[in-house]
Structure 1
Amino acid sequence: MGGNYSAMDPMEVPVPDIAILFERDGYLKPYEREIRRRYGCYKDLWDRIESWEGGVDGFTKGYKYFGPQYNSDGSVTWREWAPGAHSLHLQGEFNGWNSKSHPFKKLEYGKWELTIPANADGSCPLKHDSRVQLIVNDHLYRLSPWASYVKPFEGFTYQQFIYKPDHPYQFKHQKVAKPKSPRIYECHVGIATPEGKVGTYNEFRENVLPRIKNQGYNSIQLMAIMEHAYYASFGYQVTSFFAASSRYGTPCELKQLIDRAHELGLYVLLDVVHSHASKNTLDGLNEFDGTNSCYFHDGARGTHALWDSRLFNYSETEVLRFLLSNLRWYQEEYQFDGFRFDGVTSMLYHSRGIGEGFSGSYDEYYGLNVDTEALVYLMLANEMVHKIDSRAITIAEDVSGMPASCRPVNEGGTGFDYRLGMAIPDMWIKLLKEEKDEDWKMGHIVHTLTNRRWMEGTVAYAESHDQALVGDKTIAFWLMDAAMYTHMSTLSEPSAVVERGLALHCMIRLVTHALAGEAYLNFIGNEFGHPEWLDFPRAGNNSSYHYARRQWNLVDDQLLKYKFLNQFDKDMNDLEEKYGWLSSAPGYVSCKHEGDKLIAFERAGLLFVFNFHPYQSFTEYRVGVNEPGNYKAVLCSDSKKYGGFGRIEPDGEFHSTQGVPWGNRNDSVQLYIPCRTAIVYARVN
């Protein structure tokens, strides 16, 4: 499956809705031949899979064929794909760890099969929670790639255990509707506890889900669920793809968590890692069949130079089955609603994105650097996920900005619903690190927040887990640093550092939320300004959990100022729920004044005004609006309920338009705009 999938001339490949693509972005027209070629590669592969027994539907249910399959007569049929192996055996508690008594029989196409008869009493020989192990070539100990439950054994590597409880969890609640305005709470079960330990699915379900719902988020994005032997990898060095991490609890407990989220009306996304895999051999996919390839490319193409991990061979039929079935497994077995795909930039380019500047020239997206095989896999994955569940949302973590990534496959796009606006948090951290806020350029901020492809959904965020990791700091900590240890009490002496920090924290979040995308994301704890950074227990920090937890006590303590940031975050989300700016057309920016440090824009019928000036307030400042009428403040970051000075409080006086066109708008209002303040105005009768 290389670049030449079809003998048909690319210009003859019928892409159903490609005209829509060119209407939306005329700059794509010179690349029509390449767009058609890519679609032709995808369509050829999809049609070929459809022609095989079971079609796409059967092909993407590999978990019902491979690994242990439990038969009605009590016997078990176990299959594996190990094309490079010359022998395969199964040992475990069921056979007294006899390494020779249960050999697999070799089938066609590198597949192996073993049938284990039922016990004399008709019961299944593989008991729940019993340990099993594959032996490849008589001396290599391996876990099944299809293992659904693995956990550490005697402090050593992860081992496979049979997960077949007598009373598996049954879902009680339907999946929730696809949100028009996704407000995503990015979360990690393990760190979601104030204690110095790994948190559990049950604790998260009981303690954290209600917080998320109360904060006005309508979606959660669960990280580090796919099993990873190294906790500090944050879940991005996956060892067992079908196994939900046992360090937080059992598969049934994860199902309970998801079911409870659905009961609360929360849409549940899985952070899925199909861009690479851990190099581990004893408890990972690497060298599963005794060769360097199997699931991965051999040679340099099979290793990521920076991540020290293995790269999948997306041209191999069984790799496609494995990965597509993996997505379906989480959709159907665990009832996940959608996916955030990690490391998409690494997949899309032969360079893996290393050293790439991605200047925005379209030539970068249609040259020989693009990995067609990986791109076609993503098209297949998106098409399949959406066919299985029309409510599904898929999000691409791609820094390159490849055109049409978030357009339907039948337009010639890659099929994602959203991409992460990765330049946005980079901008905020860079500004906080390198410039005083009096030197911030309003035009630069606006450009970064609005620089996205037309009609391609963007997830806006001020900071995610990436910005919180050790070596960096949360936005709150960049703003307030040591003062967070001494001046966050409401009883302490006023601190100019903390006053500035509270104000800018709210402003940065609101302008990002309101202007920068069609969805919004917040990382767990950052809504209330979680201090310090994030670091997992490892040799370099004496295996400490001090930074691998969330200090909910800070926001729950009414004598601390974290409650102010938390309340603003909630009110911001609640206001979006009422007016729906994320699902509205992009905002119209009528003012970005460098000297006054002012930004003003309209979106979803609201007027947003931001005064980033550190000390200059303005009276009777004229701001353009398109709709005449009376305007009143419905949210103000300077309100005393957010720790501000109360110079403007919502639901106060009205401001009437004056029939004076301004800022390329039909009308205007004159406003009092205090320094370091964000205000949202709604038109009222």
Structure 2
Amino acid sequence: MNDPYLSPYLPAIRRRLEQIRTMEQRLTEGRIRLADFASGHEYYGLHREGDDWIFREWAPNATALFLIGDFNEWRERQEFSLQRIGERGDWEVRLSNRMLRSGQLYKLLVRWPGGEGERIPAYARRAVQDDYTKLFTAQVWEPEHPYPWRHPLFRRPAEAPRIYEAHIGMSQEEEKVGTYAEFRERVLPRVADAGYNTLQLMAIQEHPYYGSLGYHVSSFFAASSRFGTPEELKELVDAAHEMGIAVIMDLIHSHAARNEEEGISRFDGTLYQYFHEGPRGDHAAWDSRCFDYGKPEVVHFLLSNCRFWLDEYHFDGFRFDGVTSMLYLDHGLGKAFCGYEDYFNANVDEDALTYLALANRVIHIVRPDAITIAEDVSGMPGLATPPEEGGFGFDYRLAMGVPDYWIRLLKEIPDEHWPMGHLYHELTNRRADEKTINYAESHDQAIVGDKTIIFRLIDAGMYTHMNVFEPNLLVDRGIALHKMIRLITLATAGNGYLNFMGNEFGHPEWIDFPREGNNWSYHYARRQWHLRDDANLRYRFLAEFDKAMMHLADQHDLLNSPGPHLILENQEHLLLGFHRAGLVFLFCFHPHQSFTSYPVDLLPGKYRLILDSDAPEFGGHGRLEPGQVYFTTSRPQPGGPTGHYASLYLPTRSALVLRRMD
């Protein structure tokens, strides 16, 4: 009904929906809710049972399992031997209270036909890195008192998400790994002051290699210990909730770290316990393992992981990473999705689609207010459509084509030749039945090998000409276009907006984590907040403009409003204009020509200037009177009703926002 071009694929759509229902029935056997089924984290792993401990693991190919640790000198002992229970490959051991204590380290010694290996339990809730071997090990974690949640009933604000994407480790000024506590004390107040209502945290699930940005996960149920304790993460989430900020996290279910001693690859001696057997189980481009989403035990593991982070840490939703990689057998690498046939051929992993639909169902049963965001560049129809309309249930999808388009423009086309019509099309090209989140750049555009928008605009001038004391044409151009790019991306956004930590003030340079190639330096794995705070530098202008943008979006409910609706497109003069949420947005991209008394068609009435990118407080030239009021004039339309327009001064490389006054 929403898209007639999908009609030829109706049988495939119906088959997929039936597959979702069939898998849910298979998992729950019609006896329990799917959300109750997704509770493997309460059964497997290490738990208290009365005054004693109980530990369970799923390892169907294993012939023997032993808990080993500093409590038994890392040797197999009979009293720490697990016993096989049932037919599906579960193992269990019960231990008296005196045999384990909080802080002790442990692993599993797993034996299988023809071999053995040490493993971190799949459901381990804490893993710490050994300073000597640099390997991760599970840790018994039992604080004296549970974390006392101050805002246990927090619910996400109903307003559209304005997302601040952040990485805990690189969030500090010092050349080191930042902590949950430092982020709560030093960065979270900045997020609130900047006007964002949603915090998206990267790299929360435990990962052995810091430089992976958290995308090579080894322990899916453990919050990264390099940033602090579980209680410190909970305190961070709680503090954000106190400020009215929702907290979501990157959830990595698209693949897993290849590590065996530290992860779940070859956990029970087989490569196919959690992953596909053979080449399909390896993601060659990412050097990682690919889950078998058609296996009920794997779906149980992943669904339980969804619920765990909601229950244990009170997260308010997830950005599902690498969804395109999940959806296609070739992972969508280097592929141009040119037609609907690409979404319905044999290259689609329909088991992955089924899993994603079930994951969304679990999340929204547990937390109806939670949000889920799909990182999919392919444009798979229905991904962010409600299940009652035949979709797979994500609340939003990332508009990944938007940052790609900005990069293409900045790299390939001088701004005096930017195509206005094509730019507007690319910013607004989205499915009407799916909510999208726009962004000009995320962490992806800031990694070594790429450049942020501000770096593409100013380049080496970032190091020498960002002070406020000397005029510089290159810096003026860069700051003007940076503001315009971000405002037009926000104003045309479907239903949400995202910014990566520091990009709001034009953070210089790239992200480069410690590695052998940079002599294990933290110099580029941090955020230089002093640049934003220094009154003698121009970074503060960009930060203040971003803050004004967020205030505008909040005050006028911009992202929940329909539109935008185009009212002006002039390629010769490089002008774009549209209205949305009772506001008029006007952009003059012309590099050297301003326009006086330019007629812009508007509804009759008077309009006040409420945001001007050229204002001095935003590093502009102040060519317009603050709060200026414009009146429309009528003009006859040949053969039609009378039209109305306002005569406006449109300064070069500037953006104006007008509000119609009652």
TM class by smaller structure = over 0.9
What is residue 620 of structure 2 aligned with on the other side?
644
Of the three residues 240, 257, 274, the one matched with 2:219 is: 240
Residues paired across the two proteins, number: 655
Kept in 2, the 8 Å contact 1:181–1:519? The answer is yes
- Aligned match of 1:540: 517
Structure 1 residue 659, shift from structure 2 partner: 5.1
> 151, 161, 165: which one pairs with 1:182?
161
Residue 358 of structure 1, CA deviation: 0.6
User: Residues 312, 327 of structure 1: CA spacing in aligned structure 2 closer, same or farther, 3 A cutoff?
Assistant: same
Q: Is the 8 A contact 2:81 2:93 kept in 1?
A: no
Task: Provide the secondary structure at the position in 1 that maps to 2:560.
Answer: coil
Q: Which amino acid aligns with 2:74?
A: W
Deviation at residue 88 of structure 1 after TM alignment: 1.2
Task: Choose 89-98 or 437-446, whichever is displaced more.
Answer: 89-98
Report how far residue 109 of structure 1 moved.
3.9
Structure 2 counterparts to residues 432-511 of structure 1, below 5 A = 432-491=410-469, 493-511=470-488
Question: For the residues of structure 2 that align with 1:318 and 1:331, how far apart are their CA atoms?
Answer: 20
| 1:129 is the counterpart of 2:103 | yes
Stretch of structure 1 that moved more, 547-556 or 153-162: 153-162
Displacement after TM superposition at 1:113 (Å): 2.6
Residue 601 of structure 1: how far off its partner (Å): 0.4
Answering whether residue 529 of structure 2 is matched by residue 552 of structure 1, we say yes
Equivalent residue, structure 1, for 2:285: 306
Match of 1:168 in 2: 146
Relative to structure 1, the CA distance from residue 380 to residue 487 in structure 2 (aligned partners, 3 Å threshold; closer, same or farther) is same
**Mapping of residues 76-87 of structure 1, within 5 Å:** 76-87=53-64
Task: Report the CA distance shift for 1:666/1:398 in structure 2 as closer, same or farther (over 3 A).
Answer: farther
Pick one of 97, 113, 117 that aligns with 1:140.
117
Opposite residue 296 of structure 2, the aligned amino acid is T
Residue type of the partner of 2:430? R
Deviation at 1:179, TM superposition (A): 3.4
Correspondence 1:337 to 2:311:
no
Which residue of structure 1 lines up, in the alignment, with residue 658 of structure 2?
681
The separation in 2 between residues aligned to 1:400 and 1:506, in whole angstroms, is: 29
Deviation at 1:438, TM superposition (A): 0.5
Q: Within 5 Å, give how 1:389-408 maps onto structure 2.
A: 389-408=367-386
Aligned residue number for residue 3 of structure 1 = none
Match of 1:253 in 2: 232
Secondary structure in structure 1 of the residue aligned to 2:256: coil
Alignment of 1:311-330 (within 5 A): 311-330=290-309
Match in the other structure for 1:566 = 543
- CA-CA distance at 1:250 after TM superposition: 0.4
Deviates more, 1:362-371 or 1:100-109: 100-109
Determine if the alignment matches structure 1 residue 349 to structure 2 residue 328: yes
In the TM superposition, residue 95 of structure 1 has moved relative to its aligned partner by: 3.0
Q: In the aligned structure 2, how far is the partner of 1:577 from the partner of 1:652? A: 22
Partners of 2:644 and 2:156 in 1: how far apart? 38
Map Cα deviations across residues 203-241 of structure 1 (whole Å, 9 max, x no partner): 000111110010010001000000110000001111110
Change in CA separation of 1:105 and 1:305 when aligned onto 2, cut-off 3 Å: same
For 2:641 and 2:466, the matched residues in 1 are separated by: 43
- Answering whether residue 23 of structure 2 is matched by residue 45 of structure 1, we say yes
1:582 aligns to what SS in structure 2? helix
* 1:588 and 2:557 correspond: no
Distance 1:342 1:506 in 2: 28
CA contact (8 A) 1:151 1:159 kept: yes
Aligned to 2:241, the other structure's residue is in SS state helix
Give the 3-state SS of the residue equivalent to 2:170 in structure 1. Answer: coil
Distance 1:399 1:657 in 2: 45
C-alpha separation between the residues in 1 aligned to 2:642 and 2:173? 50
Seq. identity, %: 49
Q: Do the aligned partners of residues 620 and 109 (structure 1) sit closer, same or farther apart at CA in structure 2, a change above 3 Å counting?
A: farther
Matched, 1:514 2:488: no
- For structure 1, the residue ranges without an aligned partner over 5 or more in a row are 1-21
State yes or no: 1:27 paired with 2:2. Answer: no
For 2:144 and 2:461, the matched residues in 1 are separated by 54
Structure 1: 4+ residue segments shifted above 3 A = 52-55, 659-667
Tell me how far apart the structure 2 counterparts of residues 98 and 574 of structure 1 sit (CA, whole Å). 60
- Is the 8 Å Cα contact of residues 396 and 436 (structure 2) preserved in structure 1? yes
Matches within 5 A, 1:74-223: 74-101=51-78, 102-118=80-96, 123-137=97-111, 139-156=116-133, 157-173=135-151, 174-223=153-202
- Is 1:624–1:661's contact at 8 Å kept on the other side of the alignment? no
The alpha-carbon distance between structure 1 residues 287 and 681, as it changes in their structure 2 partners (threshold 3 A), is: same
Q: Which AA in structure 2 matches 1:296? A: F
Question: Displacement of 1:26 after TM fit?
Answer: 2.1
Letter in 2 for 1:518: N
Measured after TM superposition, the shift of residue 180 of structure 1 is: 2.4
Q: Equivalents in 2 of 1:57, 1:600: separation in Å? A: 47
Which amino acid is the alignment partner of residue 639 of structure 1?
A: A
CA 1:95–1:505: 2 relative to 1, 3 Å: same
Give the one of 218, 225, 229 matched to 2:208.
229
CA distance in 2, matches of 1:79, 1:362: 45
Post-superposition offset of 1:433: 1.6
Q: Which amino acid aligns with 1:337?
A: D
Aligned residue among 10, 34, 38 for 1:60: 38
Q: C-alpha separation between the residues in 1 aligned to 2:197 and 2:642?
A: 34
Residue identity matched to 1:392: A
1:660 shift after superposition:
5.7
Root-mean-square deviation (Å) = 1.6
Structural mapping, 1:372-411, within 5 Å = 372-411=350-389
Instruction: Report the Cα distance in structure 2 between the residues aligned to 1:672 and 1:424, rounded to whole angstroms.
Output: 29
Partner of 2:632: 656
What is the CA–CA distance in structure 2 between the aligned matches of 1:322 and 1:657, rounded to whole Å?
A: 65
Question: How far did residue 54 of structure 1 move?
Answer: 4.6
Report the alpha carbon displacement of residue 657 of structure 1 after superposing the two structures with TM: 4.4
Structure 1 residue 177, shift from structure 2 partner: 2.8
Which string of whole-angstrom CA distances, capped at 9 and with x for unpartnered residues, describes residues 379-421 of structure 1? 0001111111110110000000011111112222111111111
How far is 1:114 from its partner?
Answer: 2.8
Q: Which amino acid aligns with 2:305?
A: N
- One-letter amino acid matched to 1:507: M
Is 97-106 or 494-503 further displaced after alignment?
A: 97-106
By how many angstroms is 1:667 displaced? 3.3
